[in-house]
Amino acid sequence: MSLVNLHQVHKYYGDLHVLKGIDLDIKAGEVVSIIGKSGSGKSTLLRCINGLEEYQQGGITVDGNEVTTEDIQVRRLALSVGMIFQNFNLFPHMTVGENIMLAPTIVLKKSKAEAEEIARAMLLKVGLEEKFDSYPEKLSGGQQQRVAIARALAMSPKVLLCDEITSALDPELVGEVLKVLEQLAKEGMTLVLVTHEMNFARDVGSKVVFMHQGKVWEEGDSKTLLSDPQTDELKQFIGAVL
Partner 1 sequence: MLYFSDLLQYSDTFLSGLRTTVELTVLTTILGVALGTTCAAIRQYGNTVSQRVVASYVELIRNTPFIVQLFFIFFGLPAIGMKLSPWEASIIALTINLGAYSTEIIRAGLGSISKGQVEAAKVLGLTFRQTLFRIIFIPAFEKIYPALVSQCIIVMLGSAVISQISVADLTYAANLVQSRNFRAFESYLVTALLYLGLSIILRFVLDAIGKRLFAYRAIK
Ligand X SMILES: Nc1ncnc2c1ncn2[C@@H]1O[C@H](COP(=O)(O)OP(=O)(O)OP(=O)(O)O)[C@@H](O)[C@H]1O
* Interface positions with ligand X (CB under 6 A): 13, 16, 18, 36, 38-44
Residue selected from 9, 32, 45, 78 as contacting partner 1 according to rule CB under 8 A: 78
- Residue 158 corresponds to which amino acid? K
Residue 49 CB neighbours (<10 A): 27
- Residue of 21, 58, 61, 94 interacting with partner 1 (CB under 8 A): 94
Q: Which of 78, 6, 148, 166 is nearest to 70 (CA)?
A: 78
Which residue of 28, 102, 121, 238 would you call a contact of partner 1, by CB under 8 A?
102
> Can residue 134 be called a binding residue for partner 1 (CB under 8 A)?
yes
Is residue 33 within 8 Å of residue 201, measured between CB atoms?
Answer: yes
Residue 155 binds which entry of partner 1, Mg ion, ligand X, none, CB below 5-8 Å type-dependent: partner 1
The least distance separating partner 1 from the CB of residue 12, rounded to whole angstroms, comes to 20
| Residue from the set 55, 85, 200, 217 that interacts with partner 1 by CB under 8 A | 85
Query: Quick one: which of 15, 133, 172, 187 contacts partner 1 (CB under 8 A)?
Result: 133
Give the long-range contacts of residues 46-52, CB within 8 A, separation 24 or more.
Answer: 46/83, 46/161, 46/163, 46/192, 46/194, 48/6, 48/9, 48/11, 48/19, 49/4, 49/6, 49/81, 49/161, 49/192, 50/74, 50/77, 50/78, 50/81, 50/83, 50/161, 51/77, 52/83
Considering only residues 23, 107, 111, 196, which one is a binding residue for partner 1 as defined by CB under 8 A? 107
| Binding to Mg ion, residues 4-43 (CB under 5 A) | 43
- Which residue, 79 or 121, has its beta carbon nearer to partner 1? 79
> Which listed option, ligand X, partner 1, Mg ion, none, makes contact with residue 180 (CB within 5 to 8 Å by class)?
none
The distance of closest approach from Cβ of residue 78 to partner 1 in the complex, given in angstroms and rounded to an integer, is: 3
Query: According to the binding rule CB under 8 A, does residue 106 interact with partner 1?
Result: yes
Residue 238 sits in the site that holds partner 1 (CB under 8 A): no
Of 24-32, 93-101, 110-118, 165-173, which part binds partner 1 (CB under 8 A)?
Answer: 93-101
Write out the DSSP string of 35-57: EE-TTSSHHHHHHHHTTSS--SE
For residues 213 and 231, give the distance between their C-alpha atoms in angstroms, rounded to a whole number.
Answer: 14
As measured in angstroms, the least distance from the Cβ of 127 to partner 1 is 19
- Torsion angle defined by CA atoms of residues 132, 46, 225 and 38, in that order, rounded to the nearest 10 degrees: -100
Give the list of residues 6+ apart from residue 58 with CB closer than 8 angstroms, or none.
6, 7, 8, 9, 10, 21, 22
The residue ranges that bind partner 1 (CB under 8 A) are 50, 52, 71, 74-76, 78-79, 81-83, 85, 87, 89-95, 102-103, 106-108, 133-135, 138, 151-152, 155
- The residue ranges that bind Mg ion (CB under 5 A) are 43
